[in-house]
Amino acid sequence: MARLFSMILAIGLMLGASLSAQNVSGDWELSINGPEGVITATAQLKQDGEKLTGTISSPQGSADMTGTMKGKAMSLSFSMQGPQGPLDIKVDGEVEGDSMKGVLDFGMGMADFTAKKK
């Protein structure tokens, strides 16, 4: 009986883990509430386990991104050319199905964002 209970518990844990895992691979449309107003951008993401890679494109240019996906928590970083030189940008967000929300940290300020999967 204990063995049967252990097997059922293990199967339940595996199913629960697979159902809660997010896969963010694909194309995303972002709306960033920047200091000078709303900025629209697109991101193409590829997920391999917890590893994330991709590209972000906005009116300010394009950049390659790297990061991680753990459960619903997403973390990315990239560099873009700003008015006074390169900006290292960190992105922290939470994914729920085909939408995400979070914050971009520009080092000298922050902006919140929302995104929808295309």
Each residue's pLDDT tens digit in the chain (118 positions)?
Answer: 444 333 343 444 444 443 446 899 999 999 999 888 999 999 999 999 999 999 999 998 999 999 999 999 999 999 998 778 888 999 999 999 999 999 999 888 999 999 999 9
Q: In whole angstroms, give the CA distance from residue 6 to residue 59.
A: 55
Domain count, the chain: 1
Is 106 part of any domain?
yes
Distance CA 118, CA 103 (A): 20
Separation of alpha carbons 113 and 29, rounded Å? 10
Instruction: State how far the Cα of 60 lies from the Cα of 2, in Å rounded to an integer.
Output: 60
Residue 10 within any structural domain of the chain: no
The answer to the question of residue 7 being in a domain is no
Joined together, the tokens standing for residue 4 give 């049967």
At 84 the pLDDT is 81
Sequence length of the chain is: 118
Range of the domain at 90: 24-117
Q: 9 lies in a domain?
A: no
The answer to the question of residue 15 being in a domain is no
pLDDT value for 21: 63
Q: Is residue 83 part of a domain?
A: yes
Give the CATH number, domain containing residue 74: 2.40.128.120
Query: Residue 19 falls within a domain, yes or no?
Result: no
In a domain, 29, yes or no: yes
pLDDT at 81: 84
